[in-house]
Amino acid sequence: MKKLITLISAMCVVWAMQATDIVMLQDFESYNIGDSISMKNIYGSDFSASAVVCIDPRDSENRVLHINCATWNTLVNIAVSGVSKEELFGENTLLVYDLYRPATDGNYKQLMIYYGNERVYIDGSFVSQGATERWLTKSYNPYTPAIESETLSIGFNSNNCEYYIDNVRILKDIDFGFDYTDKQQSLRHYATLCGKNIGVAVAMSDANFYADIEDSTKIVTRTVSSQFNMVVAGNEMKFDALQPSVGQFDFTNGDKLVAFASKHGMKVRGHTLIWHSQLPGWIGAGSEGTQNNNNYTREQLLAIMERHITTVVSHYKGKVHEWDVVNECVSDNNNEILRPSIWKDVIGEDFIDSAFVYAHRADPEAKLYINDYSVEFSGNNKADRYYTLIKKLKNRNVPIDGVGMQSHLYVGSVDSAKLDANMKRYELLGLECAITELDLSLPTGQFGLMSAYEAQAADYRKIINVALGNTNCHSVLMWGVCDAVSWIPGFTGYTRGEPLLLDSFFVAKPAYYAVLDALKSGAGTLAIRHTSSPNHEDAYTNVYNAMGQLVGTNMNVHDIHHLPNGFYIINHEKVIIR
C-alpha cells in the first residue's frame, strides 16, 4: 500500500485538475506474511500453483502477492464483494494492478481476467509483458459481464511463470480531458480542416488494440478513432510479421488495421518494407541485420526483395496510402552514407533504387517514402547526409515521393527553424515530408513534474506549427497512443519515458492540449490546400461563405476543393480557401 500512496500523491501533483476515483480492491496489507490466497483453474481442473503473501522484493515495508504457476489457465482470486458490477466495469473504468516479474520469468505471456466464470479480458495473443525486476503498472479495459459475481480472477495463461502483484484497483469515472463523442474535442477534426493527417502507431501489445479492434466502446479503439485520421502499424506490417516463413505471407493483423481505418474514415501508413531490423529468421541476417548466413547472391536477395515488396504492396493496393519503402538506411557514423546491412552489403547501394521501383510498379498511386531517425534538423550531420542521399535518388528519377522524419526526440531538443529549413529544402526537391514516429521523451527524474509536461507541450506545439507552415508536410504521426504503450522506456533501458500526448491511463496531458490548440488555430487561419482525401465523411457538415450564406452541407473534400477561393466558415471555424 505504501507504494500506492506515493503513486496517488505523485498523480495529484501532476493532475490536480482531474478527479479520478481510485477504488482499492486488494493491496494485501491486511494479510500475514505466508498467507495463501485462493486460486482457480478456469476449467475446474487440478492445478499446480500457489499465491502467497510476502514482502515486496523492492520494499521491505510493503506486502505483495507472490505467484508461482505450473499449470495453464490458473488464476488468482481477488474478492470484490463490496464493489458493484457497475463500478467495476463502468464505461470509463480501467482495472489496474502493479506487476513485478523476476528476470527468470519468460517474456511472452497472455493475461486473462475472469469475473466469476465469465471471461472479461484476454490479451489478444502471447505478448511481451514488459520489463523484469521492476514494478510496472498494468491497466486493462475489460468488457462488461452478463453475470453477477463476487470474485475477479487474474493471472497469466502459462504453465511456467513466477510473478508478484500488488494494489489491484480500479480507476473509475476517469476524466480523459476530452469527450470522444464530440468532434470539436478532437485532434482529427481540426487536422482534417487544416488538410493534414494526424496519425498514431498501434501495435499488437498496445492495450489489446488488435483484439478489441471491432469494439468501438473500448477506450483504446474509441481514442484512436476519435482523435486521429491516420494509423500506422507499430510492428504488424514489418517484414517479420508479414512474411514469417519464406513465401508464407500473413496479413491477418495488417488487414485488421486496414479494415478499422476504412470503418472510421482514416488513412493508413504502411511501415515498413525494407529495413535491417525485425527481419524474419529465415533471411539469416542475424540480430543486427548485417549477416548473410544463407550466402545469398545479389540476384537472389533482389528476388527476395522483389517478391516481398510486390506481394505486400499489391495486397494493400489502394488501401495503404503511403509506404515507408526503405527504413533507417543512413549510417550513424559520420564517415559513411549508408549503414551496413544485408541489403546494402549483398545488393549494393542501389538496393534503395530497386526497392522504390518494385513498390512503384505494385501500386503506382501509393506515396513512397524513405524514413529515418536523427534527420529532423538541417545542419545536423546525419540530416545532411540523408538529404544528400535523397537528392541523388531524386536526380536519378527513383520514384520517391516523400521524406520521413521519425522524430524520436528529447524534450528541449526541438529547433523549429532547423526543422522548417529541412522541410523547405525537400520542398525544393519536389518532395513531401512527414513526421512519422513522433515522441518527445522525458528523463525519469522529470516524470510527474508539471513543468516538464509544459516544456513537452511547447515542443509538440513547435512541431505542429512547422508542419502547418509547410504545405509539403501532410502528416504528423505519434509513435503510440499513450505513455503506457510507448517503446521509449524499454529502448532507453528505463532512463526515459512519458513521451506521448496521453498519460498511461489515456488522460490528456498538456501536450495533447497544445497539439489541439495549434491545430485549432491552424484550422482558423490556414488555407486548405493539399486536402487530397482525408475522407472524414462528416468533417464539412455546414459550409458558409463570407456573406454568411450556406453554400453546402455534408460536403466532402472534393467539394471543398472546388469552391471558389475565399473566406468560409466551416463547422464554426474560419477557413481561407486559396
Binding residues for ligand XIL (CB under 6 A):
203, 234-235, 327, 406, 437, 487
Closest distance to ligand XIL from the beta carbon of 434 (Å): 13
Closest distance to ligand XIL from the beta carbon of 517 (Å): 27
Closest distance to ligand XIL from the beta carbon of 334 (Å): 20
Q: Which residue is nearest to ligand XIL (CB)?
A: 487
Closest distance to ligand XIL from the beta carbon of 234 (Å): 5
Q: How far apart, in Å, are the Cα atoms of 185 and each of 164, 172, 177, 543?
A: 39, 21, 9, 19
Grid cell of 325 as nine digits? 519503402
Please tell me whether residue 9 adopts helix, strand or coil conformation.
helix
Q: How many CB atoms lie within 10 A of CB 13?
A: 10
Closest distance to ligand XIL from the beta carbon of 190 (Å): 26
Q: In angstroms, rounded to a whole number, what is the distance separating the alpha carbons of residues 71 and 62?
A: 28
Selecting among 322, 376, 437, 498, the annotated active-site residue is 437
Q: Which is nearer to ligand XIL, 234 or 289 (CB)?
A: 234
Q: Which is nearer to ligand XIL, 155 or 234 (CB)?
A: 234
Q: In angstroms, rounded to a whole number, what is the distance separating the alpha carbons of residues 435 and 407?
A: 6
Q: Which is nearer to ligand XIL, 437 or 498 (CB)?
A: 437
Closest distance to ligand XIL from the beta carbon of 238 (Å): 7
Q: Which is nearer to ligand XIL, 198 or 481 (CB)?
A: 481
Element (H or E) spanning 75, and its range? Answer: strand 74-79
Instruction: Report yes or no: 206 and 220 within 8 Å, Cβ to Cβ.
Output: yes
Closest distance to ligand XIL from the beta carbon of 128 (Å): 8
- The two beta strands, 230-233 and 267-274, are parallel
Q: Which is nearer to ligand XIL, 98 or 437 (CB)?
A: 437
Q: Which is nearer to ligand XIL, 225 or 406 (CB)?
A: 406
Instruction: Report yes or no: 264 and 230 within 8 Å, Cβ to Cβ.
Output: no
Q: What residue has cell string 529532423?
A: 376
Please tell me whether residue 63 adopts helix, strand or coil conformation.
strand
How big, in percent rounded to 5, are the helix, strand and coil portions of the chain?
Answer: 30, 30, 40
Please tell me whether residue 129 adopts helix, strand or coil conformation.
coil
Closest distance to ligand XIL from the beta carbon of 540 (Å): 34
Q: Which is nearer to ligand XIL, 351 or 487 (CB)?
A: 487
Q: How many CB atoms lie within 10 A of CB 135?
A: 21
DSSP 245: B
Selecting among 328, 376, 432, 498, the annotated active-site residue is 328
Q: How far apart, in Å, are the Cα atoms of 340 and each of 337, 356, 556?
A: 10, 19, 47
Q: Is 376 a catalytic residue?
A: no
DSSP code per residue over 163-199? EEEEEEEEEES---SS-TT-GGG-HHHHHHHTT-EEE
Q: What residue has cell string 559513411?
A: 336
Q: In angstroms, rounded to a whole number, what is the distance separating the alpha carbons of residues 118 and 147?
A: 7
Residue 402's closest CA among 465, 338, 342, 324?
324
Question: How long is the chain?
Answer: 578
What residues pair up with 496 in beta bridges, in sequence order? 443
Q: Which amino acid is at 30?
A: S
Q: Is 328 a catalytic residue?
A: yes
Closest distance to ligand XIL from the beta carbon of 204 (Å): 9
Which residues of 448-497 form beta strands (DSSP E)?
473-478, 496-497
Q: How far apart, in Å, are the Cα atoms of 136 and each of 67, 119, 164, 402, 483?
A: 16, 23, 11, 38, 12
Q: Which is nearer to ligand XIL, 80 or 478 (CB)?
A: 478
Q: Which is nearer to ligand XIL, 57 or 124 (CB)?
A: 124
Q: Which is nearer to ligand XIL, 141 or 327 (CB)?
A: 327
Q: In angstroms, rounded to a whole number, what is the distance separating the alpha carbons of residues 244 and 250?
A: 7
Find the radius of gyration of the CA atoms of the chain: 25
Closest distance to ligand XIL from the beta carbon of 374 (Å): 11
Q: How far apart, in Å, are the Cα atoms of 421 and each of 55, 78, 297, 416?
A: 56, 57, 41, 8
Q: Which is nearer to ligand XIL, 327 or 378 (CB)?
A: 327
Residue 147's closest CA among 117, 122, 121?
117
- The two beta strands, 322-327 and 367-372, are parallel
Closest distance to ligand XIL from the beta carbon of 326 (Å): 11
Q: In angstroms, rounded to a whole number, what is the distance separating the alpha carbons of residues 207 and 130?
A: 13
Active site residues: 328, 437
